[in-house]
């Protein structure tokens, strides 16, 4: 009897052991899959949530070259001066490195300069933008660092608007640059410019032909069908730097590489890893409030949007939603105008960690809806759906 009990315990132990092997083997396989990343620093981030799906030395400060121009572009767009006419200075014209061949005294719309900045990486355009938006290059650099602090780029310092190696105090990290791109991609005009393959600008003074700029981002133009935009960079000291975005199956990703000899393939590998191993979990905004039993709220609240978060298959079981509501006050029943607009929140948890939340709004005219099981609340959007 004792021997039989020991055998049963042994079998049970082995079952537990072998039940862990697939997940561990899968994890090891994923690690090997990403070992070929050539970059000294790299990161893959989901755009909306900011969840980091892969990273390699992502918090080390490094030179960043022309991906600096993402900050220059978003500040120009946010300035509200995109239709302004800029007079090009001698300082702008004589900026070294990549150029859109501006002429001193030339008058050109700020919008055209931003396209030339992002598509052709014009250093002359960067200085012209900085002088117009910031009053001077130095004033614009102050705005760049102010915005970096606002975004949460804690390991970043800008010394110029273009990324040239003319200062020892110009650096960032892969993580910080992903934060910057995440911020910039919230802007509709930035998304349009970043994702433009070819742009036509008016001819320079004395020229017969309009300027035609083709995007240097090969992932966008030819190499990766899911790429939606980005910015290239290179200097002798920074080496190759690259920030790109891609969308597939309802999921939007950001990839950053610093000092990457094989950056195009690095980005493709990271994107394929992200799209193959993660999916977007969605809690429908209408269904999340159907679990509310309180008679005061049950027919009268709504969420402003769905809850979403990127997860791996094995994490699905760890997802759950909690609804938090204010305690109804007596005066609310007598005077509906005294009820606050926001009466609570719905929070999505991955295990014990809150990963997304949405305000719950009071709305008198909501119609009655039937209850649904938890299995109908979660929808997992794979490749080829919802996108």
Q: Can you spell out the DSSP letters for 136-162?
A: SHHHHHHHHHHHHHHHT-TT-B-SSSS
User: Taking Cα atoms as reference points, which of 301, 287, 300 lies closest to residue 359?
Assistant: 301
**Annotated catalytic residue 247:** no
Which of 41, 66, 172, 194 is flagged as catalytic? 66
Which of 41, 56, 69, 239 is flagged as catalytic? 69
291 in a labelled binding site: no
For residue 223, the 8-state DSSP code is I
Find residue 229's DSSP bridge partners.
Answer: 245
Q: CA-based Rg of the chain, rounded to a whole angstrom?
A: 26
Tracing tokens 């240097």 back to the chain, one arrives at 216
Report yes or no: 129 and 114 within 8 Å, Cβ to Cβ. Answer: yes
**Annotated catalytic residue 26:** no
Report residue 4 as tokens: 């039989």
Q: What is the largest CA-CA distance in the chain?
A: 101
For Cα atoms 24, 60, 270, give the angle at the middle one, nearest 5 degrees.
45
Report yes or no: 255 and 268 within 8 Å, Cβ to Cβ. Answer: no
**Annotated catalytic residue 66:** yes
Report residue 340 as tokens: 């606050």
Q: 232: helix, coil or strand? A: strand
53, burial (CB in 10 Å: exposed 0-12, middle 13-18, buried 19+): buried
Residue 282 C-beta-side C-alpha neighbours within 13 Å: 17
Which of 41, 121, 172, 194 is flagged as catalytic? 121
Helix axes 123-134, 69-78, angle to 10 degrees: 40
Helix axes 69-78, 110-120, angle to 10 degrees: 160
| Residues flagged as binding site for substrate | 231
Q: Which residues are catalytic?
A: 66, 69, 121
| Residues flagged as binding site | 231
């Amino acid at each position: 009897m004792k021997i039989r009990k020991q055998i049963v315990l042994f079998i049970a132990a082995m079952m537990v052991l072998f039940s862990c092997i697939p997940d561990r083997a899968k994890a090891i396989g994923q690690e090997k899959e990403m070992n070929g990343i050539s970059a000294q620093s790299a990161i893959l981030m989901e755009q909306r949530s900011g969840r980091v799906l892969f990273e390699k030395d992502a918090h080390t400060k490094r030179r960043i070259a022309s991906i600096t121009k993402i900050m220059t572009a978003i500040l120009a767009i946010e300035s509200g001066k995109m239709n302004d006419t800029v007079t090009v200075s001698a300082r702008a014209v004589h900026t070294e490195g990549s150029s859109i061949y501006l002429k001193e005294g030339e008058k050109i719309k700020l919008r055209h300069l931003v396209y030339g900045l992002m598509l052709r990486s014009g250093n002359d355009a960067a200085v012209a933008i900085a002088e117009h938006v910031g009053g001077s290059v130095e004033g614009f650099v102050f705005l760049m660092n102010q915005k970096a602090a606002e975004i949460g780029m804690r390991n970043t310092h800008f010394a110029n608007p273009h990324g040239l190696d003319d200062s020892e105090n110009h650096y960032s990290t892969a993580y910080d640059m992903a934060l910057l791109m995440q911020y910039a991609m919230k802007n509709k005009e930035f998304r349009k410019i970043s994702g433009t393959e070819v742009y036509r600008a008016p001819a320079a003074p004395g020229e017969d032909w309009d300027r035609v700029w083709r995007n240097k981002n090969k992932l966008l133009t030819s190499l990766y069908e899911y790429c939606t935009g980005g910015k290239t960079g290179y200097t002798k000291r920074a080496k190759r730097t690259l920030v790109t975005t891609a969308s597939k199956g309802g999921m939007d990703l950001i990839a950053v590489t610093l000092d990457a000899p094989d950056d195009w393939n690095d980005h493709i590998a990271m994107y394929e890893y992200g799209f193959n191993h993660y999916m977007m979990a969605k809690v429908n905004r209408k269904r999340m409030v159907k679990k509310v039993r309180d008679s005061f709220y049950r027919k009268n609240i709504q969420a402003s949007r769905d809850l979403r978060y990127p997860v791996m298959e094995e994490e699905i079981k760890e997802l759950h939603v909690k609804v938090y509501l204010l305690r109804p006050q007596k005066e609310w029943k007598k005077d509906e105008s005294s009820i606050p607009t926001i009466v609570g929140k719905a929070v999505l948890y991955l295990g014990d960690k809150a990963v997304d939340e949405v305000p719950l709004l009071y709305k008198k005219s909501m119609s009655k809806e039937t209850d649904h099981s938890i299995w109908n609340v979660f929808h997992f959007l794979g490749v080829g759906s919802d996108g």
